[in-house]
Chains A and B, each alone.
Chain A
Amino acid sequence: MDKFPNVRRFPRLAPEDGVAELTARVIRQIYRHRQSRIELGRDLIQLKAKLKARKGHGSWETYFTEKFGPFHLSLRCAQNYMKAARKEDSKNETFRFSKPGGGSHAESIRDAEKRAKAEEAHIRGQQKIQLDKDFRAITTELLKLPLWPRVHKEISDLLNQIATKHGIVPAGKEKRNETVAA
């Protein structure tokens, strides 16, 4: 009953006595303990800075002994946690991925993207009527006028004139804008 006749065989796995599972759990606990020490260090740094801002220099040690002494947390221990937090934060801050990957494929894909973006922008720019900020404000004001239906007709007439001038619509066959002017 060999389904894979040409496949290499492997040594049997160690019996499932739970050692691997427990080792993984211990590693997880160590990691969590380490993380919580770093978190504690970060909070202590913040607290120290706030106390300094409120009461000035020299108040930290007294405050610490008074508040945290009963919890059997020594000052030296807290200093170590703060040091670990600073080290961790500086480590995360310094690393940056230096550059995106190169190679001919990457270059050609980047070029293609640039071309496609430029093309889209070009088509959009060509086809749209661009209104700058002032003209947009004027349009908004015109829309608010009680005489807007008349203004709307005037704009339609003006567009007809331009179209006739450029030979798009023959003279005497001007279009009527049926859109309701609201």
Chain B
Amino acid sequence: MKLLQLKHDYEAESVRLKGQFADPSHAKHNIERDTHVTAPDGGTIAVFLSQRIDAELYQLAYALWKPVKGVPSNRATAVGVKSLHTSMNRYGVPSPRTGVPRAALDILKSQDVGTGTLGYSGDPCRKTKLTIKNPEMLDGNRHLVKRVNQLYKRYLPSLYAQQRAVIKKAPHLRHTAFSTIYVAKNWQTAYHPDGNLPGGMTAILCMGRFDGGALVLPRWRLSFAYRPGDLLLFDAEELHGNLPFVGERMSAAFYCARSVAVADNISRR
């Protein structure tokens, strides 16, 4: 495995890109093969594992997760828009609820964008509606979940052990360090951070037939051109977004939700 030790941190510059779309010029290093990327202080930024997931596993996942059709109405930054008031009464007083404007959601729907959360999520933390309604989406992908967990444990053992120690006290996907799987279909996200367990890693993989769609981390000027069968472990609390793609693409992020890790916040269902 190649070791890439980065020398520069572009945190201050990258913060301004929040909510903007990724551009190939934002990345200096394009990673396509097995690489362990470390920060100037020696901490792990990402681990890219090429062709480690068996085709049968991700093809089955693609088939099982294809029906997801939720729209990311509460993820304005990831959609690439400002959060606006969702409605207004006849006197022009805006509703206190804010979210992604309807016009942007219509565009996402027209592009067949669909998202879904499997496992445990929310505040208080509980099993998601999608999991209750479609248990096969999780149960059918048991082997894939185990495989992703196995790779995380193998390549980042100390971080895995920390995450596992935290998650053990809370609801989680059985025998893994993950609580939640976020599935996104045909969605090119703008730069956004995710609210995952601080210090924990997110495992991301993609499925489908497509060109493009690399994941860019502007803080480190990195892009990961990951294909079906590849696995990327990175800290999703840092800004990340996708480059444009053509074709049918689905990505799945395995992570430990921040709310899940708060032991007082558990409501089992």
Could you list which residues of chain A lie within 8 angstroms of chain B, going by C-beta atoms?
3-4, 6-8, 10, 13, 24-25, 27-28, 31-32, 91-92, 95-106, 108-110, 112-113, 115-117, 119-120, 123-124, 126-128
Contacts and interface: CB of A to CB of B under 8 A. Distances in A.
Contacts of B13: 95-97
Given A92-B12, A105-B111, A120-B85, A113 B104 contact: yes
Contacts of B8: 91-92, 95
B81 A113 contact: yes
B107 A109 contact: yes
Interface stretch (B17-25, B121-129, B200-208): B17-25
- 10 A-B pairs with least C-beta separation: A127-B92, A116-B101, A101-B21, A103-B244, A101-B23, A112-B103, A100-B20, A106-B21, A113-B81, A28-B42
A3 B102 contact: no
Contacts of A101: 20-23, 26, 241, 243-244
A116 B92 contact: no
11 contacts: A3-B146, A28-B41, A31-B42, A92-B8, A97-B25, A106-B80, A106-B188, A112-B107, A113-B101, A116-B103, A126-B92
Contacts, number: 122
Contacts of A112: 81, 101, 103-104, 106-107
B17 A97 contact: yes
A128 B12 CA distance: 40
Given A110-B80, A112-B106, A100 B41 contact: no
Interface string B80-98: 1110110010111010000
B10 A98 contact: no
B79 A109 contact: yes
A93 B10 CA distance: 10
B23 A99 contact: yes
Nearest to B90: A127
B42 A27 contact: yes
Nearest to B187: A105
B14 interface: yes
A107 to B, nearest CB: 9
Contacts of A13: 154
Nearest to B10: A95
B106 A3 contact: no
B106 A106 contact: no
Given A100-B21, A128-B92, A116 B84 contact: yes
B147 A109 contact: no
Contacts of A91: 8
B133 interface: no
A6 B81 contact: no
Nearest to A108: B107
A109 B80 contact: yes
B52 A8 contact: yes
A64 B188 CA distance: 57
B54 interface: yes
B94 A109 contact: no
Nearest to A6: B54
Contacts of B188: 103, 105-106
Given A97-B17, A103-B188, A109-B80, A31 B104 contact: no
